[in-house]
Structure 1
Amino acid sequence: MKIPPKGKTPLSLTIIIIAVIVLMSVTFTEDLRVLTGTSTLKPPKASSSSSSSSSSSERDASSRETNEAVIDEEDKIEFNRKKCSVTEGKWVFNSSKEMLYTDESCPYLDKQLVCKRNGRPEDKYLYWEWELDDCTLPRFNVENVLRKLRGKRLMFVGDSMQRAQWQSFVCLIQAHIPPKRKLIKRNEGNCMFKAKDYNMTIEFYWTPFLVDSNTDKYIITDPNKRILQVDSIAHHARSWVGVDIFVFSSYTWWMSGQSIKSSWGSFANGEKGYEELDVRIAYKLGLKTWANWVDSSINPNTTRVFFATMSPSHLRSSDWGNEDGIQCFKETMPVAQRGFSGSGTDKQMMEVVTDVIERMKVPVTVLNITQLTDYRIDAHVSVYTQLDGKVLSDEQKKNPLRYADCIHWCLPGVPDIWNQLLYAYL
């Protein structure tokens, strides 16, 4: 046996030491990637030569883009609610996207939201998919949804944005259920879809402020006449008993641009018994009332609670650099600017949601739809809607400043992606 010179390490031992160090380095860095959202794995760069022709360079560039796309997909992890950020991603156009329903195939859509039927001339808005940076977002699988929801009640609670998400969810699954085995009921704004063979209901409960208000049963269009009870939720909560999965949301109706009138105890005194509150203060008080109900009434072992963040409006085209535009009118492409946030997103209101939910005892999953939705200036109903049961006339469509709706969303459309996120968390 040959003894190595004193002070020198055998080659085999040296190789082992180096291998261990490299492995530890990679492991540490990949753990750090999970925390920071960055990746240490980089796609190979295609080499280029100064003497290559322009056509060859184009082919190299095309090949490089393809390789990068493949490697990026391979580097992504399967969706994990604790590790994946649904806000970090981009909209990708997919002309071969499979449509699980259309505005012709689903009979449960509000007529105001069926943009194609209401005359929208192009349909590019239908073919955008939300692609996460570091994770693979699972596609909405109807069979899995029906299996997961067997014997359960799923309820969307909130305003017209939640009603749109309810309609989207129902339309995504209803084609898989025979006509005689499904039932739908609508009553004073509240809706219920039942799949009999699964003993499952998908419900919508109308309460635009979550807390009690005088505009719950009959809609009061004048914000000055609306009165809330920011300390009371009892009237609504009676209808929430026995629900297995909640998806709450409340934002749009708070943003009237005016202070919030709130009474304490009842509406018996009418307009004489209210106090005017700053919007954010009233919003926080209202959310605390909701949070107290959740903490005192929900068993987290049997019931899941989601809270969907704000759905942005797009009322100021200068936000995305279209100085000559009129709100979202004639927009046909999402905003490409990474991290775009328009004036229809109130970050202070978002902070209120975060602050209240972080202090709750019952775990609440935040369904963060705001960032991905803010890019979609192209997907509102705009002038392709209905007014008093009639499609807007050509003359009305020529007046988008008055008639364009840049708050609500076409269906099919963006709310389908909200439900894809919900499915990923389920």
Structure 2
Amino acid sequence: MCGAKTADGDSSGGAVMVPSFNATMMLEMLRGKRMLFVGDSLNRGQYVSLLCLLHRAIPDGAKSFETVDSLSIFRAKNYDATIEFYWAPMLAESNSDDAVVHRVDDRVIRGAPMDKHSRFWQGAHILVFNSYLWWTAGDKIKILRGADNDLSKDIVEMKAAEAYRLVLYQVVRWLELNADPKNSRAFFVTASPTHTDSSAWGDETEGGNCYDQTTPIGDASYWGSTSREMLRVTEEVLATSRVPVGVVNITQLSEYRRDGHTQTYKKQWAEPTPEQRADPRSYADCTHWCLPGVADTWNELLYWKLFFPSNDQAL
């Protein structure tokens, strides 16, 4: 991608040319390293996007892919490099940790510690975190305190944004204790917008959403349902970190892309019902993104921040 965009993806302010994505260069820079994405299905989409951007630069016999439980591993054998994804939609341990069987409703997270997940993060040279969507399904989240696995005991409710703050602080503390800035880099990808209500961009179609949208939103000031409070929490917590944490701000640039979602083309858990087929917008996925598509741009921004940090820091 080449264009005049600032580091946060806006098209205003001091412009800088973003370098074009170079798969061979990125693989060379990853030689002997482990890159790990940690988060939910939006982060997994970005992970798959990156694999698609890279795999054509690797001969068929020199790459492999496997998934074991919550961990997916892509190996670029000629480069002795791995690019991995670890499913942890809320970063902290939760009852949503099963990579296949999980629900957004009735979420319960463990307040501390983070050992169940963080043991998989150890040794990664590049960590790319995201966590947002699962925190927005309701105003409150249940927190299980202590080490007891009995979910009937010692459960408190907390405002979702404050529970999110608590978990992000734990991630930051983990990075401070475990990440060596000389040998590793950490990034946090901001909230991925949804387009579930077309009235937000002035389309008053009853029950309208992203279904059958074929053009981006043209209003540069458009802001949908993305929680500014959650974005503020992310900014405030990451600012406390004693080790550098890069922010890949994909929110505003993705807000415009009502046309970029998988809509009815996503593989469903179950076949659509006859009623749904009669009204496709009723089961359109307005959360996840088509590939190739929006997530490729996220990776181009990540590529820029990874390998051209001097340009980023100058802004």
Indicate whether the TM-score tops 0.5: yes
SS of corresponding position for 1:277: strand
Alignment CA distance shift 1:415-1:394 (3 Å): farther
Distance 1:418 1:382 in 2: 20
Distance 1:403 1:286 in 2: 32
- Match of residue 376 from structure 1: 257
How far apart are 1:269 and its partner, in Å?
Answer: 2.3
Distance 2:102 2:113 in 1: 19
Distance 1:156 1:295 in 2: 18
Distance 1:400 1:167 in 2: 26
- Match of residue 332 from structure 1: 214
SS of corresponding position for 2:67: strand
How far apart are 1:191 and its partner, in Å?
Answer: 0.6
2:295 to 395, 411, 415: 415
How far apart are 1:267 and its partner, in Å?
Answer: 4.5
Unpaired runs of at least 5, structure 1: 1-72, 91-131
- Match of residue 270 from structure 1: 151
Give the root-mean-square deviation of aligned CA atoms. 2.0
Distance 2:278 2:301 in 1: 36
Q: After the TM superposition, which residues 148-297 of structure 1 pair with which residues of structure 2 at under 5 Å, given as runs? A: 148-217=29-98, 219-221=101-103, 223-224=105-106, 226-297=107-178
User: Does the CA contact (< 8 Å) of 1:168 and 1:411 recur in 2?
Assistant: yes
How far apart are 1:398 and its partner, in Å?
Answer: 3.4
Distance 1:337 1:222 in 2: 31
SS of corresponding position for 2:28: helix
**What is the one-letter code of the residue matched to 2:255?**
D
Alignment CA distance shift 1:318-1:292 (3 Å): same
**What is the one-letter code of the residue matched to 2:134?**
W
SS of corresponding position for 1:247: strand
Higher helix share: 1
Q: After the TM superposition, which residues 295-334 of structure 1 pair with which residues of structure 2 at under 5 Å, given as runs? A: 295-324=176-205, 326-334=208-216
How far apart are 1:389 and its partner, in Å?
Answer: 6.4
SS of corresponding position for 2:152: helix
Distance 1:216 1:288 in 2: 20
Alignment CA distance shift 1:267-1:328 (3 Å): farther
Task: Give a deviation string over 1:103-133, Cα, whole Å, max 9, x none.
Answer: xxxxxxxxxxxxxxxxxxxxxxxxxxxxx97
**What is the one-letter code of the residue matched to 2:214?**
T
- Match of residue 246 from structure 2: 365
How far apart are 1:331 and its partner, in Å?
Answer: 0.8
Alignment CA distance shift 1:394-1:412 (3 Å): farther
How far apart are 1:189 and its partner, in Å?
Answer: 3.4
Alignment CA distance shift 1:294-1:388 (3 Å): same
**What is the one-letter code of the residue matched to 1:354?**
E
Are 1:88 and 2:33 counterparts? no
Distance 1:285 1:327 in 2: 33
User: Does the CA contact (< 8 Å) of 1:88 and 1:133 recur in 2?
Assistant: no
User: Does the CA contact (< 8 Å) of 2:261 and 2:285 recur in 1?
Assistant: yes
Distance 1:214 1:221 in 2: 9
Same amino acid, percent of matched pairs: 39
How far apart are 1:340 and its partner, in Å?
Answer: 1.4
Task: Give a deviation string over 1:226-269, Cα, whole Å, max 9, x none.
Answer: 21013321111111111000100100111112410001113422
**What is the one-letter code of the residue matched to 1:257?**
G
**What is the one-letter code of the residue matched to 1:196?**
K
